[in-house]
Every structure is written in structure tokens, then in C-alpha cells.
Amino acid sequence: MEKQSIENKLSSLLLKSKGVEVISTQQLPPSGSNRKYFRLKTSNQSFIGAYNPDPKENLAFIHFTKHFISCNLNVPQIIADDIDNHIYILSDLGDTTLFSFIEENKNKNKFNVILLPIYKRVLDDLIKFQFSGGKELDYSFCYPRDSFDKQSMMWDLNYFKYYFLKLAKVHFDEQDLENDFEVFVNYLSKADSNYFLYRDFQSRNIMLKNDTLYYIDYQGGRKGSLFYDVASLLYDAKANIPDNYRQELLDYYISKISRNIKINETEFKSFYYAFVLIRIMQAMGAYGFRGFYEKKEHFLKSIPYALKNLEWLLHNVKLNINANTLFNILENLTVSDELKKFSNKVLPQSSLCVKIYSFSFLKSIPYDNSGNGGGFVFDCRALPNPGRVLEFETINGQNIEVIEYLDKEEEVKQFLNNVYKIVEQSVEKYISRKFTNLQISFGCTGGQHRSVYCAEKLGEYLKYKYQINIEVEHTNKDNWKK
């Protein structure tokens, strides 16, 4: 259907259902599907019009939406629908996705302050979808299948094989790989699969409006395990969640679902990481299809992030699955020169350890025990001093009151931004040259407020940006005023 025709039909549907005229329409940027979205503006509000030529997918979306609303889940309201013309109209949730919010905030060195609480709220909502949302849901509306069963898993794996491996010109023995796919799927199928599986639970399908989270694009939902969606969220490639926060969020999720069902944590994590792997492969299949096949180059930019996730998984998790051909192929992908050309400065896992110290200039500058002899010492004494504020005298740079005090100071921001630029240059060079140690120290008069604050800030910043080991130590801690 032509764009003008779609807009006319959407305008007519809104007029018929709400009695309001559309003043202007704006087609929204395309996503990874064949659906088309339009913002419909009236005299005093706006709506989202959707066109999708797949009638079964439309029925699934509309049925799921109505069911989720009845479960008090935050999804868009359906204003009107016309299934015969493949269109429907939704409430307008704005333009801020969780992904765009991450992009705006990821360089502010506040993942734990800004993004971590949001991700915990998202996980709380995911549990509601999995348990409440799946209860009494009519799974006959699911499309293309009513469960994430062996057939669905094999579709994902073959998607990865044909649209990523073959189009990326990766050599493999087809029969051996098929045999390993069968072994892998048999293992995944042992997981309990009696929950609602959202299917594409990732940052671009989560909206932020007036500090409320909303969820979209669940038309591929079906019955499945608990593991797939949390894996999709935490290993969302370009969201690039730091590994330490991934672990914290996984532990948070496990603690929450333990209130609903009995959990064997070791078994849970074993299944979880296996589902992380199939989700990474499914995503890579999508990048290959949209990027290699459809020539949409921006999808190729996600490949380095997926490879980084894959590399971490292969090197840090022992999957007790006898699939040597599959794992050898995946290992080869992480070192492929052909795939490295898509890199947009995603740095590899490194053995570099950055040790960050705070200290008092009344004492001595920390000694470098590594023998490297390099690194930096930054003098924080020119910065505003919280130690002169009476109420801060007995607390330190890790306390929220001191953090908020220094966060507001523009010269502190400038100081840290300069530190970040200087340190980044060395970190990236050290990683490329496979160096293992870098020492950085921050000093102030008492070693309690400014130096502690700066050391913590740099540690968080480097953890978020690089796959390296970070150690933060406050050397004057025993002398802090109590």
C-alpha cells in the first residue's frame, strides 16, 4: 500500500473512531520490520498509526495488547483498528526509547545512579509479563508459533547459519553443525517453558514517558522459558551493559522471581547462559539479514557488540554442551579479520588492570607495586572542598551528600572530563599493546572527600566503557574523621 493511501486510511479511521481530524502526518523512521508507523497530529494531541501487511501478526498484537491492559501492564492503548485494511491506531508514547536514553546518559559515568534503577524497574515489569501477563492468555493468537519450542529454536539457529555465517563467508561443515544444533536445542528444551516469552525484550522496545516505562513490539510473543527475555535485555548488543552490572541485574532478577517459584541458582544460570548464546546467534542472524542481505549498513554496526558479548561468554562461562563444531565456529567469529572491519571502536576483552587510588598529600603518593612505573597522579586540591562544610566533616566522597555536592560544581566536571580524556588515551594504547597494569592516583588534603569522589568516578567511567579489570582503593580510609 502506498504511503499516501496508508495516511488517508489512518486519518479516516481516527475521524470515525474519535471524531477528530488529522492536521498533519509524519512517517516515523523504519525499524527492523516491514511495519510502517506514522505520527498523526490533531489540534490538541497526537496518535501513532501503524500499517502491517501481515494480518495474523496484527491480530496477535491487538489481542496481546488488550490482555496486557487487563493485567495492568504498561502497553500502548489501542484507539482503533481496521484489520481488513491492515491498520490500527495507538496512543502516542513519545520518541524516547530506553536505548536512546542510554545513549544520552552512557558518557555521564552514572550507570549505577541513572540506568541501574531503571533496569531494575524493567526487570520488575518483565516478571509481571512472564507471570501475570501469561496467565489466562489465549496462546492460539500467537504467530508464527504458540511456543518457543524445538522448531522455533531451529529456525533461529538456521537464521544465524544462512544469514550470518554463509553471508559472512564463514566456512563450516554443514552436517556437523546441524548435529550440534540438535544437541544444543535438546539441552534448551529441558528448561521449564510455561511462561509468557516476550521474544524481543530489548531497549528499543521500551519507551520512557513522564518517568513511566511502557512496552511495545510484543506481537512475536509466545509460551516459553524465563531465560530468553532476561538474556535479550541484558545482552542487548548496542545497549552494551557493563559486565559487572549485568551480573548485578541477573542476581536482582533471580532474587525477585524466587518469590514466585523455587530456584536452583546453579541450574538457573546454566540454562540462562545457554539462552544468552541462542539469543546472541539469533540477533547476529538479524544483523546479517538486514545488513548483508538487505544492505542496511547500520545493522552491521551492531556486529562488533555482539562479537564482544560472544567472546565474553565463551571465555567466562562453561556450557556443559557437547557441541564442539558450533563452539569452534563461534570462537573463530570472535577473531575473524573479515568481521573486524565492521568495528566501530568496540574494544576487545583485555587483561589490563587499572588500579585507582585516593590518598592524602599529608601522607605519601601510593607506591606502584606492579613494577610498571607509569600512570598518573592527579591533584584534586584546586577543586571545591566539601571537607570545609561542617555537615560533611564525618562522611566521605562515597556518600551521596558529598557526591551531589561535587556533581553540581562545573569546575569538578571540567576536571574529570580532562582526566577521562588523558586516561582514555593511555588505556586504549595499553589495551592494544597488551599491557597489564596502569596505576592512577588522586590526592587531596585529607584523602577523604575530593580524591575519593574522583577515584570512584573514574572507576565507574572505565568500567562502563572498557572490558578491563578495575580496582579502586582508598589509602587514607583509616584516618577519615568519624
State pLDDT tens for residues 367-376.
887 777 779 9
Rounded Cα distance between 59 and 56, Å, is: 5
Q: What is the pLDDT of residues 390-446, one digit of tens each?
A: 889 899 998 888 988 998 899 999 999 999 999 989 998 888 888 889 999 999 999
pLDDT above 90 (res 237): no
pLDDT band at 343 (very low <50, low <70, confident <90, very high): low
pLDDT above 60 (res 33): yes
Helix (H, G, I), strand (E, B) or coil at 360: strand
Residue pair 6/28 in contact by the 8 Å Cβ criterion: no
Helix (H, G, I), strand (E, B) or coil at 283: helix
- The values of phi and psi at residue 313, to 5°, are -60, -45
- Name the CATH code of domain 98-340 (choices 3.90.1200.10, 3.40.50.300, 3.40.50.2300, 3.40.50.980): 3.90.1200.10
Q: What is the pLDDT of residue 32?
A: 67
Nearest by Cα to 170 from 301, 303, 297: 303
Q: For the chain, which residues make up each domain, given as ranges?
A: 3-91, 98-340, 353-479
Q: Give the rounded percent of residues in the chain with a pLDDT score beyond 90.
A: 72
Q: What is the pLDDT of residue 344?
A: 46
CATH architecture group of domain 3-91: 2-Layer Sandwich (3.30)
b/e code 312-325 from CB counts within 10 Å (16+ = b): bbbeeeebebebeb
Give the mean model confidence (pLDDT) for residues 76-84.
96
Q: What is the pLDDT of residues 270-308, one digit of tens each?
A: 999 999 999 999 999 999 998 888 887 778 888 988 999
pLDDT above 60 (res 448): yes
pLDDT above 60 (res 347): no
Chain position carrying cell 577515584: 455
Residue pair 28/46 in contact by the 8 Å Cβ criterion: no
Q: What is the pLDDT of residues 245-271, one digit of tens each?
A: 999 999 999 999 999 999 999 999 999
Rounded Cα distance between 77 and 50, Å, is: 13
Query: pLDDT averaged over the chain?
Result: 91
Rounded Cα distance between 44 and 38, Å, is: 17
CB atoms within 10 A of CB 398: 17
- 215: part of which helix (H) or strand (E)? strand 212-215
CA atoms within 13 A on the CB side of 197: 26
pLDDT band at 460 (very low <50, low <70, confident <90, very high): confident
pLDDT above 90 (res 2): no
Q: What is the pLDDT of residue 426?
A: 92
Residue pair 60/142 in contact by the 8 Å Cβ criterion: yes
Residue pair 203/97 in contact by the 8 Å Cβ criterion: yes
Q: Give the rounded percent of residues in the chain with a pLDDT score beyond 70.
A: 97
Q: For 300-314, 319-333, 442-456, which range has the lowest pLDDT when averaged over its residues?
A: 300-314
Q: What is the pLDDT of residue 345?
A: 44
* CA distance between the termini of the chain: 72
Answer whether the bond into residue 144 is a cis peptide, omega within 30°. yes
CB atoms within 10 A of CB 277: 25
Q: What is the pLDDT of residues 143-175, one digit of tens each?
A: 999 999 999 999 999 999 999 999 998 999 999
